[in-house]
């Protein structure tokens, strides 16, 4: 769903007509701000990591190539936190894995030649990846990370949550609240919460024919289990 579609559907639900606002109108700006609030509420929902917000470093704007005599690299501008091992990959596809440790442990490994790394930073200054030993120059830097939810400003931009109607009913509840229409606000908020709950359920559902169980690596490798 694009911002344009969001604006039109929200307007029809709120005003009951098709005299849609344009991007030059105050109503458009106000409702776009309400969309941003809805996206923030969705993106920070307690106890859930949305599938839509996982991303690979190669798909972002962070540094992707190892430079000689350089241990520090910029992360993507939408980076929130890492999602697993960092890999450096040579031209033939051979991967070297780097364990991610906490920054406070980094001093224990300085100068030890270990395959470890850590992340530092914040939203104001940006995030950085730091290797504790020099990777091979020219290799590709790859890792999964959890990103910030994208805001939507242009009419053609797409809302990335799986059910944008959550954002529509979230905004609708705020519009009714501002108008002093408590019952209508509550009804719209209940619809938004139902949409959010459905997204939570879909987010944890495994793909068809996939096992839904806790992985046991030792059992799979034959090094653990009953009698071992």
Domain presence at residue 208: no
Residue 79 belongs to domain with CATH number: 2.40.30
Q: Output the pLDDT for position 212.
A: 65
Q: Output the pLDDT for position 195.
A: 98
Domain presence at residue 11: yes
| Extended strands (E) in 49-105 | 54-56, 72-74, 79-82, 86-89, 95-100
Q: Output the pLDDT for position 91.
A: 97
> Could you say which of 83, 112, 147 is where a domain stops?
147
Its domain, for residue 171, covers 3-50+150-203
Q: Are residues 120 and 83 in the same domain?
A: yes
Rounded (5°) CA angle 179-183-189: 90
Q: Are residues 59 and 120 in the same domain?
A: yes
For 13-28, letters b (16+ CB in 10 Å) and e give: bbeeeeebbeeeeebb
Q: Are residues 96 and 158 in the same domain?
A: no
pLDDT in tens, 62-85: 999 999 999 999 999 999 999 999
What's the CA gap between 154 and 211, in Å, rounded? Answer: 41
Q: Are residues 32 and 78 in the same domain?
A: no
**What string of pLDDT tens digits covers the 228 residues of the chain?**
999 999 999 999 999 999 999 999 999 999 999 999 999 999 999 999 999 999 999 999 999 999 999 999 999 999 999 999 999 999 999 999 999 999 999 999 988 999 999 999 999 999 999 999 999 999 999 999 999 999 999 999 999 999 999 999 999 999 999 999 999 999 999 999 999 999 999 999 888 888 766 666 666 666 665 555
What's the CA gap between 6 and 141, in Å, rounded? Answer: 37
Domain presence at residue 14: yes
Domain presence at residue 228: no
pTM of full prediction above 0.95:
no
Under 8 Å between Cβ of 56 and 143: yes
Q: Are residues 46 and 56 in the same domain?
A: no
Count of structural domains, the chain? 2
Q: Are residues 165 and 194 in the same domain?
A: yes
Q: Output the pLDDT for position 39.
A: 98
Residue 112: HSE in the Cβ half-sphere, 13 Å Cα cutoff: 11
Question: 208 CB contacts (<8 Å, ≥6 apart)?
Answer: none
Q: Are residues 140 and 58 in the same domain?
A: yes
Tokens 């096992």 locate to 211
Q: Are residues 90 and 119 in the same domain?
A: yes
Domain presence at residue 168: yes
Report phi then psi at 4, rounded to 5.
-60, -45
pLDDT in tens, 144-165: 999 999 999 999 999 999 999 9
């Amino acid at each position: 769903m694009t911002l344009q579609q969001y604006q039109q559907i929200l307007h029809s639900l709120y005003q009951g007509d098709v005299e849609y606002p344009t991007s030059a109108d105050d109503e458009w700006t106000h409702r776009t701000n309400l969309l941003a609030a809805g996206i923030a509420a969705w993106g920070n929902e307690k106890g859930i990591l949305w599938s839509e917000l996982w991303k690979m470093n190669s798909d972002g704007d962070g540094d992707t190539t190892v430079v000689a005599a350089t241990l520090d690299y910029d992360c993507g501008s939408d980076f929130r936190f890492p999602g697993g091992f960092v890999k450096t990959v040579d031209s033939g596809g051979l991967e070297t894995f780097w364990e991610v440790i906490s920054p406070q442990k980094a001093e224990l490994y300085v100068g030890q030649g270990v395959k470890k790394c850590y992340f530092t930073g914040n939203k104001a200054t940006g995030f950085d990846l730091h290797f504790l030993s020099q990777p091979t120059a020219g290799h590709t830097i790859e890792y999964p990370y959890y990103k910030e939810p994208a805001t939507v400003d242009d009419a053609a931009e797409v809302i990335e949550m799986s059910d944008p109607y959550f954002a529509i009913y979230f905004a609708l509840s705020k519009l009714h609240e501002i108008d002093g229409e408590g019952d209508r606000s509550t009804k719209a908020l209940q619809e938004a919460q139902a949409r959010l709950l459905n997204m939570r359920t879909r987010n944890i559902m495994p793909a068809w024919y996939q096992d839904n169980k806790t992985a046991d690596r030792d059992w799979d490798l034959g090094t653990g289990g009953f009698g071992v």
